[in-house]
Structure 1
Amino acid sequence: MKKDSYLFTSTHLGFRTWINSDLEQFSAMNSDPETMKYFEKPLNTEESKAMMERMNKLYEDKGYCYFAVERLETSEFLGMIGLGWKTFEAEFTPCVDIGWRIQKEFWNKGYTTEGAKRCLSYAKELGLKEVLSLASSDNKASIRVMQKIGMEYWLDFDHPDLKKSKHLNPCSLYRISF
């Protein structure tokens, strides 16, 4: 895509809402067991499409979502990085969180950290005062990204939506204030 078609960019990445042509790659990424190791289960095509639709609706409602992310240089689809709205039952919800999921071939190249930093800047531009992030305590890669982007450990908790997936609990919660 052309640079002016993005909502915002970072050095190497373009952030945008979801389009129908994202579904094939997004679904392939979401159905990969290794990529989805720290989620309840891999997603099928219908679940991936529903997620894209939820993200576009969240953007319409709140001005943010887990954005579709592309490499600016090549327009390759990397995955998603952005801001979400969490309402599950916990002492810290409802809250804005930052999260990511990118295709395996782009792991360990700095894109997630770069994209997450840019999304925190976007959160600040929106006037948000705090952003949280959570991951299974075993998900060392995501926790490392949280640390690299300046978030601080807050607490561990058992995610109420993951009671059937005991291997994902406890979750670690990080936060940053602006």
Structure 2
Amino acid sequence: MHQKYLFQTNRLGFRVWQPSDLQPFGEINSDPETMRFFKNPYSLEETQAMMDRMARMFEEKGYCYFAVDLLENQELIGAIGLGWKTFEADFTPCVDIGWRISKNYWNKGLTTEGAKACLEFAKTLGIPEVFSYATSANLPSIQIMKKIGMHFYYEFELSELREFPHLKQCTLYHIDLLNQV
């Protein structure tokens, strides 16, 4: 079955979420290692709720954390894309970039490749700047932020994680899409 992709890289296809994604994305979201920098792994219901939020965001904004397929086998490997963040912070509301892919596909450059493509997509939408944040202990994600040209902005405590002392300290990165060097 050929998917209709919004945009592609050499190895990845980006698309809107479909009902058939629930099971494979649910497996990614329920994996304790993949979700170690989150409050807890997601249930199937939480995964469905996230997919529903992404569908609404795409309808409203023209972007979301996209479903990402590996083109060589059409397998859903996770989510990479843009989000709209409105929690209380100095830098919100803002567009952010984020990712979550199956651990089977870590350390292959796929997240970096996909995140770069999402920044290019953001440019086509006229988005002037993009932020990204992660728990300060999430060094793999912070490394990706650096690889895609983002710059350290500051550290902050995420109010949503106040009850999780090991997660609440976050590192914020930023990229100015209008004045890139």
TM-score (norm 2): 0.96
- Which residue matches 1:114? 113
Q: Percent identity?
A: 57
Aligned equivalents of 1:170 and 1:44: distance in 2?
Answer: 25
Give 5+ residue unaligned stretches, structure 1. Answer: none
SS in 2 for 1:166: coil
CA–CA distance in 1 between the matches of 2:26 and 2:132? 23
Q: Deviations over 1:84-105 (max 9, x none)?
A: 0000000110000000000010
CA distance in 2 between partners of 1:114 and 1:128 (Å): 19
Any stretches of 5+ residues in structure 2 without a counterpart?
Answer: none
Task: Identify the residue that residue 131 of structure 1 maps to in structure 2.
Answer: 130
Q: Which residue of 2 aligns with 1:86?
A: 85
1:29-68 matches, cutoff 5 A: 29-68=28-67
State the secondary structure of the residue aligned to 1:168.
coil
TM-score normalised over the length of structure 1: 0.98
Q: Which runs of 4+ in 1 moved over 4 A?
A: none
Summarize deviations over 1:13-57 as a string: whole Å, max 9, x none.
000000010000111111111000001111100010010010010
**Partner Cα separation in structure 2 for residue 159 and residue 169 of structure 1:** 5
2:38 aligned counterpart, secondary structure? coil
